[in-house]
């Protein structure tokens, strides 16, 4: 008989969430804390007020640690991931300059995966960037971006965000 999802508990397990201050990552942190996990959230600056909402989450005072990390600083990621049972990699840069976006995204993902493999992490979940849904100049700015939205491929190709064969 399958386990009741409401009874699943993360008690005794630690999960790293990269880019913890981001929208999707914040929800992941919230849900992990609700399930009893200890969470290490990576952020650029743990003291930045924009991350204060994380410390207000239920269970955060007891089980959330904000770690200073950068996608291009392997050692900072390695330190945050060491000893974790799982990793949610949500951190990703978003900018109009594809060179400032692609290199950190690719190198950062490699750094996270290497650090996770070295730490013998059991499971890694990789999320996509908001860039996958946000970049569509034909969409009204009043439209709420959700799972039904996709970035306009022609627009991205013309701006050299991605190149598709």
Of all residues in the chain, what percent carry a pLDDT higher than 90? 61
Report yes or no on 3 lying in a domain. no
Cα distance between residue 35 and residue 13, in whole Å = 10
**Domain shared by 92 and 156, yes or no:** no
Residue-level length of the chain: 165
Domain identity same for 92 and 158: no
Q: What total of structural domains would you count in the chain?
A: 2
pLDDT at 6: 44
Residue 85 lies in a domain: yes
Question: Is 55 in the same domain as 82?
Answer: yes
CA-CA distance, 106 to 59, in Å (whole number)? 33
Look at 138 and 128; give whichever has higher pLDDT.
138
Structural domain harbouring 163: 135-165
Element (H, E) at 152: none
CATH number at residue 16: 3.40.50.720
Could you tell me if 70 and 144 lie in one domain? no
**Alpha-carbon radius of gyration of the chain:** 17
Q: Are residues 157 and 96 in the same domain?
A: no
Q: What is the pTM of this model?
A: 0.78
Give which of 54, 63, 49, 47 is closest to 22, Cα–Cα.
Answer: 54
For the stretch 45-78, pLDDT in tens is: 999 999 999 999 999 999 999 999 999 999 999 9
């Amino acid at each position: 008989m399958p386990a009741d999802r409401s009874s699943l508990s993360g008690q005794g397990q630690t999960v790293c969430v990269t880019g913890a201050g981001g929208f999707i990552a914040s929800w992941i942190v919230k849900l992990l804390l609700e399930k009893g996990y200890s969470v290490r959230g990576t952020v650029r600056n743990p003291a930045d007020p924009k991350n204060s909402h994380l410390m207000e989450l239920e269970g955060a005072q007891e089980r959330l640690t904000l770690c200073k990390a950068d996608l291009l600083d392997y050692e900072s990621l390695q330190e945050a991931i060491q000893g974790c049972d799982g990793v949610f990699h949500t951190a990703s840069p978003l900018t109009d300059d594809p060179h400032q976006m692609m290199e950190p995204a690719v190198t950062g993902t490699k750094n996270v995966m290497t650090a996770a493999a070295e730490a013998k992490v059991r499971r890694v979940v990789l999320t996509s960037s908001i860039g996958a849904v946000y970049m569509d100049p034909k969409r009204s700015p009043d439209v709420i971006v959700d799972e039904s939205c996709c970035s306009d491929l022609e627009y991205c190709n013309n701006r050299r965000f991605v190149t598709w064969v």
